[in-house]
Amino acid sequence: MTNPVVSTKYGRIEGRSENGVRIWRGIPYAQPPIGKLRFRPPVPPAAWEGILDAHRFSPMCPQPVESSSSMMTGAVTKTMSEDCLYLNVWAPGHQAGEPLPVMVWIHGGAFVTGSGSLPTYDGHSFATRGNVILVTINYRLGPFGFVHLSPFHEALSSNVGLLDQIAALTWVKDNIAAFGGDPDRVTVFGESAGSMSIAALLAMPAAKGLFHQAIMQSGASQALPAEQAQQIVDGLLQELGVTADGLEQLEAMTAEQIFEAGERLKKRIGPGVNMIFQPVVEPGTLPLEPLQAVQAGSAASMPLLIGTNLEEGALFFRPNSPLIKEEHLVHAVEAMTGIQNAGAFTKQYPYTIDGHAQIMTDLYFWRSAVQFAAAHSGQAPVWMYRFDWTLPEHPVLGKAMHALEIPFVFNTVRLFRNIGVEVDRDTQTLAERMQDAWAAFARTGSPDTPSLPWPQYDRSERSTMIFNSRSEVARDPDSDKRIMLGL
């Protein structure tokens, strides 16, 4: 079978045909953000002559080395470079008669780690079973993507990692038709920081019209106020030995120097603000905190699918984790959630590692998702889920922790073999039904399917799909916690 070649706005691209799917890896959607382009909004790629080889994934964006492997997926590429603004496209083996829905995945990783090329995000099943076009992207991370530099100079920008995502979505709008996709049926979906990114995109004027539906997995409204972001960038510049009137020095520094300064700053700040690099509320890019923007109608009429996992915090608090002093725990919750007098809530939980994990699940992930779903339900159709599946007694899969739903959504549960688990029929069926629901949402704006009827979420019923070996809809699950939190 010959390799597929398509013509884009910037030139011709050759991909590969693999197992009934056409794949293009490492397509540039922006120029390398180095030198004078560092800390600046992405610039469209230059056109090229001839045919671009899109056979291999691009390097990952600079990030901690340990993020280049996964307990469930095994080792992946450890190649990193600032020249990382690329995307990947999976499409069915043959061009369809009519344009197909497009799904764009925004990876998570606390805004400092991750890549669109991780094996868990393989798009084969979305292209074959789902009959959609699947796109995964990279975007600038850590100090390269999320420092608040716009106040210093008009040429510099804040939230450039989010602007990268917008540039990738612009590329999709301009070019995806050549791959068989419909630019008027684009669904963004993401997990953790990817989901928080989507919350920000729903609030950003520059993202309007680039996508039409959204799926948010384990992450909602998350952004720093400008004053706090200013303190962080001041600290970073201090670590780098750079003054406000000498910012041009940033262009000549190595990526390692900047990255290591960010790591030192995180250690110096200590516990409390765990994500010092994240979206910031500022006039040029993100003028309102995402929840406020959605409440004001920034994403009116856009269908939304949103949910969390039953035991999100179990990923971050392992059995051998040390207990956090109560005053530090309260401070951390207040810094991460904006809850005032958080001690009134944290004292409702046992002072154990499991208690710490449940605090993170409830106050950080679940609370923000319920707030977001309720705010948007008055503006557009909303569906909500909770992922409960576990493999009891297994050291990794024994709790429905943060990120565990991803291999089910992508139908890549076969990767559980890397941790010694052979997938049974019930587990495989759950993965297929979840992916079918996600693909149905991309196709129709509703995740409702014949095998998984799914009513909308509203403030009266709060219908929530509970994903497990036997999935079912629950009315207002955890209503006692919701009432305790004043939701």
**CA–CA separation, 195 and 365 (whole Å):** 11
Catalytic residue, chosen from 107, 124, 376, 402, is: 402
Residue 138: closest CA among 194, 215, 198 = 194
**CA–CA separation, 449 and 264 (whole Å):** 49
Q: 312 an active-site residue? A: yes
Those residues whose C-beta lies under 8 Å from the C-beta of residue 77, and which sit 6 or more positions away, are 57, 59, 60, 68, 115, 117
Contacts 24+ apart (CB under 8 A), 483-487: 484/345, 484/348, 485/345, 485/362, 485/363, 485/367, 487/367, 487/370, 487/371, 487/374
Catalytic residue, chosen from 191, 239, 289, 312, is: 312
User: What is the distance between the terminal CA atoms of the chain, rounded to a whole angstrom?
Assistant: 56
Q: 107 an active-site residue? A: no
**CA–CA separation, 375 and 373 (whole Å):** 6
**CA–CA separation, 89 and 438 (whole Å):** 18
Contacts 24+ apart (CB under 8 A), 27-31: 27/52, 27/54, 27/86, 27/87, 27/88, 27/89, 27/171, 28/58, 28/85, 28/86, 29/85, 29/86, 29/87, 29/137, 29/167, 29/168, 29/170, 29/171, 30/85, 30/164, 30/167, 30/168, 31/85
Catalytic residue, chosen from 58, 192, 197, 377, is: 192
Q: Does residue 89 sit in helix, strand or coil? A: strand
**CA–CA separation, 389 and 398 (whole Å):** 9
Mind telling me the catalytic residues?
A: 192, 312, 402
